[in-house]
Each structure stands twice: as structure tokens, then as C-alpha cells.
Structure 1
Amino acid sequence: MKKSVFAIMALAISTASVQAQTMRPVMDLATAETIRDGCLDHARKNGEEIAVAIFDHAGRLVTYAKMDGASTAAAEVAKWKGKSAATYEFASSETANWNGPAAPDMATFGGGLPLFTSDGVGVGGVGVSGAVTEFDIACGNAGAVLADLSTDRPE
């Protein structure tokens, strides 16, 4: 009898915790590859050599590419920008104005863009480096559009 009561209580508790969980949209590999490839295509069409890195909302690298002519430094900066945008959910051009250089992984150059679903949920970030800042930003936006994601923070 005691075992039955315990089993029923355990089932009730576990069912309640399952019901309280909601699914969060995530940055899957296919979406990250779409962003990466869109950015690389945009760079090729415009004669630029860049590096691009896509992160999930927790700041974990999902995919990355460096064009042959992009510098090793650009590759590392793209990762820095992308991780910053993913974890802070602000464009790196904005965090550059926060005067917070001691904050962990906070990028201080434009080219890192947060990625949001149509419902305004942050799913990650894209970082681009290797060209002028305006082009890095345009390149990240080009990839995001192909994945039906927004780089604009929801109101």
C-alpha cells in the first residue's frame, strides 16, 4: 500500500513538472547553415572576404566559416561578435556604446547581430568580420533574412 501511494505521488509530481515546461525555439544546424551560407554568398557577390560565426542563444557555436582571403584575426573577431550578440541579445554596435569592456565576451565593434523569431524570442546571434563594419552588418542581415529571422530587438 505504501509503495502504491508513493508511486502515485511521484507520478503526480513528475506530471506537474512536465506540464510547467514550455518549448523554446532553438538555433538548429540547418537554420545556422542557411544564415552562414547566405552571408557567404552576399560577401562573394560583393567581392568581400569575411568570416562568419553563428551561435545559439546560450552562446554555443553552431557553425562557422572563414573565406580563404579572410584573416585569422577576422575569424576570431567574428566569433567574438556572434557570441556577444547571442548572449546579450543586442547588436555589437550597440554594446560598443555600453562602456563595459570588462564584461565577459562583450563585443565592442559592429558586425554582431542577435537573431529573433517572428515572436520576438532570441535564438542566437551571427558575427561577421573581415570587411568594413557596415558590410559586416549587411552580411549578417542577408543571412538572417534567408532564415526568416530578425536582427531587430522586439519592443
Structure 2
Amino acid sequence: MLRVNILTAGKRIIVDAIYRSPNSSCTEFIRDLSQFFETQNIQKGIDAHFFMRDINIDILKENENSGKYLNILYENGFSSIINGYSRVTTQTKSCLDHIFAKSKIPIHSSLTGHDLTFVELKIGKNVQIQLNNTLITMKCLKSCLRKHGKEFIKI
């Protein structure tokens, strides 16, 4: 997971980027995502929070994994920004790339296919942005969650 914290114009914005390999356990990923939300109160004082991910779960197919995944995000106040196909081949159409947002700020979004997905957040003119990010593995994230329990984890 890569987390970017942005503090600008009095607004606190968090962007989390996550990738799940199609070879890893979907059930384990969903369980870990649920625990992530249960052990952190990550929404306090945040004006906008974005989850951008390629997790290889097709949210357009109705099945147990996509249902559980979407429920976790909706229960935590996130809305899906990409609701159409993000990957189209001659044999399949799917939505494997996701952007979910929880925001008090008006959001303008754009989508340009599987290779590039993004959200544009207009917050004002002449804005200086301080970016702090850390790349961690799922193993490290799990270790931090086990070690610190319900304390806020600065990733």
C-alpha cells in the first residue's frame, strides 16, 4: 500500500493506492481490508480520502467477493467513482481498477481506460502541496496492525 498525505489550503487529503496480485488470496485481502477499517479511525479530520486500487476483483460481477469488498467500503462512507468497464478485451469486460472517495470537497473525476485512472480534485489556485508517502508491503501492514492494535498507525 502506498499512502500519500496532502495538507493544503487548510484541507487534509489522503490517497491510498493498493495492488493485489490475482495470484493472492481474495478472501484474505477482504479480511485484511475489513480489519484495517476496524483498527483505525482514519477519517477524523480528513476532508477527502481516496482509495485507488487494482485488486483484481471485478466489482461489476455479483459474487461473494465483490459483495463483501463493496460492503466494507460503503459501510465506511466511500462511494465508487469508476462504475463502468476499466478493462476490455476481445473476450471479457471487467472493472478491476477502482477509485473510491469519501470527501467533503466537490470532486471532478476522469477515466481513460485500464492503463490510466485518476481523480482530479480542484482545491484552489496557487496551492502548495507537501507530499509524504511510504511504500509498505501487506506483510508489514499486517505486522503493524497486530503490534499496535486500535492505535492510529501513521503509514
- Fold similarity call, TM over 0.5: no
Report which of the two has the higher share of strand: 2
Normalising to structure 1: TM-score of the pair?
0.29
Greater share of helix: 1
TM-score (normalizing by structure 2): 0.29
Greater RCO (Cα-Cα under 8 Å, separation 6 or more): 2
Larger Rg, first or second structure (1 or 2): 1
